Structure 1
Amino acid sequence: MPGKNLLYRRKILRQLYFENILSCSDISERIDRSIPVTTKMLAELIGAGAVLETGYAPSTGGRRPQTYAIKPDIIYVVAVAMDQFVSRIAIMDMHNRFVTPVVKFDLPLADAYDALDLVSQKINELVGASGIEKTVIAGVGIGMPGFVDIQKGLNYSFFETRQQSIVEFMEGRVGIPVFIDNDSSLIALAELRFGAAKKKRNAMVINIGWGIGLGLILNAGLFRGNNGFAGEFSHMPLFSNGKICSCGKSGCLETEASLAVVSEKAQAGLNNGKISVLERIPENYEQASDTIINAAAKGDKFSIELLSESGYNIGRAAAILIHVLNPEVIILSGRGASAGKLWQAPIQQAINEHCIPRLAEKTSIEISSLGHQAELIGAAALVMENYEKV
Structure 2
Amino acid sequence: MTNKVRTKNRIRRNLILRALLDHREMSLSDLARETGISLPMVSRIVASEQGGQIIRTREEHELDHAGRPPILASLKGDAGFIIGIDIGHLNTDIIVLSLAKEIIAERHVSSARLGNDPLLIDWLERQVETVVGQEKLRMDRLLGVGVSLPGIVRGREGVSESYMNFDGKPVRDILHERFDKPVHVEHDAKAMALGEQWFGAAKHAAHALCLNVGWGLGLGIILEGRLLYGRDGFAGEFGHIEAVPDGKLCYCGRRGCLETVASGRAIGELARERLAGGAVSRLTGIVQGRFDRLDTQRVVEAALA
Q: TM-score normalized by structure 1? A: 0.60
1:27 matched to 2:31? The reply is yes
Answer whether contact 2:57 2:71 (CA < 8 A) is retained. no
What residue in structure 2 maps to residue 13 of structure 1?
A: 17
Q: State the SS of the aligned residue for 2:174.
A: helix
Ranges in structure 1 where 5+ consecutive residues have no aligned partner: 58-64, 301-390
What secondary structure sits across from 1:119 in the alignment?
Answer: helix
Per-residue CA distance 1:96-151 (angstroms, 9 max, x = gap) = 33312314232221474532232123223433443322332111111112222334
Q: Which residue of 2 aligns with 1:119?
A: 124
Q: CA RMSD in A?
A: 4.1
Output the amino acid matched with 2:279: N
**Conserved in 2, the CA contact under 8 Å of 1:18 and 1:194?**
no
2:258 equivalent in structure 1: 253
CA distance in 2, matches of 1:166, 1:16: 29
Tell me if structure 2 keeps the 8 A contact 1:263–1:292. no
Deviation digits for residues 159-182 of structure 1 (CA, Å, limit 9, x no counterpart): 243563322222222222222111
Aligned to 1:291: 301
Q: Which has the higher contact order (CA 8 A, sep 6+)?
A: 1
Q: Tell me the equivalent position of 2:107.
A: 102
Once residues 289 and 222 of structure 1 are traced to their aligned partners in structure 2, the CA distance between those partners, rounded to angstroms, is 34
Q: Secondary structure at the match of 1:124?
A: helix
Q: What's the offset of the Cα at 1:73? A: 2.0
Is the contact made by 2:247 and 2:255 (CA closer than 8 Å) also made in structure 1? yes
Determine the C-alpha separation between the residues in 1 that align with 2:164 and 2:89. 12
SS at match of 1:167: helix
Residue 210 in structure 1 maps to residue 215 in structure 2: yes
Superposition map of 1:1-390 within 5 A: 11-33=15-37, 50-51=55-56, 69-110=74-115, 112=117, 114-162=119-167, 164-240=169-245, 242-265=247-270, 268=274, 272-274=279-281, 280=286, 283=293, 285=295, 287-288=297-298, 291=301, 295=304
Kindly indicate which of the two structures has a greater share of residues assigned to helix: 1
Identical-residue share of aligned pairs (%): 27
Q: CA deviation at 1:209?
A: 0.7
Taking the aligned partners of 2:74 and 2:219, their CA distance within structure 1 comes to: 32
Give the match for residue 350 of structure 1: none
Alpha-carbon distance in 2 for matches of 1:104, 1:200: 33
Higher Cα Rg, which structure: 2
Q: Which amino acid aligns with 2:96?
A: I
CA distance in 2, matches of 1:5, 1:256: 47
Amino acid at match of 2:301: T
* SS of corresponding position for 1:101: strand
